[in-house]
Each structure stands twice: as structure tokens, then as C-alpha cells.
Copies of this chain bind each other. A is one copy, B any other.
């Protein structure tokens, strides 16, 4: 069975976990105690030289990077990967954009605003990241104008990449009400058979540490 090293608070892990769940492949989560430094231990670096979650293990194959895991799972399952070479290119384009402009900055901003003690929060850096994120939300909202899904006419890993941080309850400056196309698209994703919220799909949530 496929193992996914993950924890509930990680939107990057959520992209991989949601792709696995909706692909129909059998998988199980392995909890990584990120908040106590497990991802930075030598043992974890043996698993992933990038020192990051998620990591997928499927038999002899170990992969990291959520986008790479998504690509592997969609190839293996024959699902969520588009229907033509052009669609597959469009999908990778959005996965890369998400990694570059959306999830990277959303994840960092959410971490700074929610998982650091208040006196340690870098206020100027948060404002800077939020301004850049606003441009990313605008790009995503415009791309969804008149469309149900980012690529083609059904859900793909492009959608499951870009939504990675957008279902979380902790505030980081993203308000669905400001972006009606994103709002409707998140409702469509949440209505997919088998969809689960990150804190229901993976072990670990802020509630555990409360």
C-alpha cells in the first residue's frame, strides 16, 4: 500500500493526499511531527534530502514534492491527469504556477500568522507576502471565469494543487467572498465524491495542540 508522510496542517501534503484519495488508489498516511522538528532530523533527511513534507513511498519508489507525487498518482491511476498532450501541458503549467506563486506564499503567510508566537511575527514580511498573494488570487480568479475547472471540463491535479491552502480555517488574508470564481470552484471541489477537508484526511491539526 502507498504510504504518504504528511501532517494535517500542511497544504502541500494535502495536495498529494487529496490526489491519492480521489484517484481511488489505496494509501495510508504516516504522521510527521513537523511542529516538533521531525522533518529536520537526519532520519527524515534520509527519506527526503529536501527536508520537506509530503513524501510518498510506493514499494521501492520514494518521491517528494507534491507536484511530482500528484503527477505519479495520476499516471498510475489513469485519473485526474487530463485527456491530451495539450491538457497535460496545461496541467503542469498550473501545478508549477501554484508552487511558484500561490501555495508557496500562502503556506508561508499562514504559518507566520498562525503558528508563530505573536511577538515573533514579522509584520512587514506578512504584508509583503499578502500583497503578492493578492495578485495570485486575481490570476486564479480570472482563469476560472466562465469555467468549472482550470484545465478541460473535469477536475485535474491542477485544481487539486491550487486549492492546497484554500480550505484551511486559519486566517492568512484570503477571503473567499472577495473572489467569486474561486469561491464557486472550491464549492465544486468540496462536492466531489470522496472529498475530505485536510484535517479529516490527514493526522494532525491545531486542535491536537490546543
Q: Check B71–A92 contact: CB distance below 8 A.
A: yes
How far does the alpha carbon of A70 sit from the alpha carbon of B139 in the complex, in Å? Answer: 22
Q: Indicate how many identical chains form the complex.
A: 2
Beta-carbon contacts of A46-65 to B below 8 Å, as 1s and 0s? Answer: 00011100000000010111
Tell which of B89, B92, B100, B129 touches A100, judged by Cβ atoms closer than 8 Å: B100
B-side contacts of A101, CB under 8 Å? 50, 104
Chain-B contact segment, one of A21-29, A120-128, A169-177:
A120-128
Whether A89 touches B72, Cβ cut-off 8 Å, given contacts A124-B122, A128-B122, A139-B49, is yes
B-side contacts of A68, CB under 8 Å? 89, 92-93, 96
Whether A143 touches B89, Cβ cut-off 8 Å, given contacts A65-B97, A67-B96, A100-B99, is no
How far does the alpha carbon of A65 sit from the alpha carbon of B125 in the complex, in Å? Answer: 25
Whether A96 touches B93, Cβ cut-off 8 Å, given contacts A49-B139, A125-B124, is no
B-side contacts of A128, CB under 8 Å? 122, 125
Whether A2 sits at the interface, judged by CB under 8 Å, is: no
Q: Which residues of A are interface residues toward B (Cβ below 8 A)? A: 49-51, 61, 63-68, 71-72, 86, 89, 92-93, 95-97, 99-101, 103-104, 108, 122-125, 128-129, 132, 139, 142-143
Q: A65-B96, A67-B92, A100-B104 are in contact. List 9 more A-B contacts (CB 8 A).
A: A49-B139, A67-B96, A68-B92, A71-B92, A96-B99, A99-B100, A122-B128, A124-B124, A125-B125
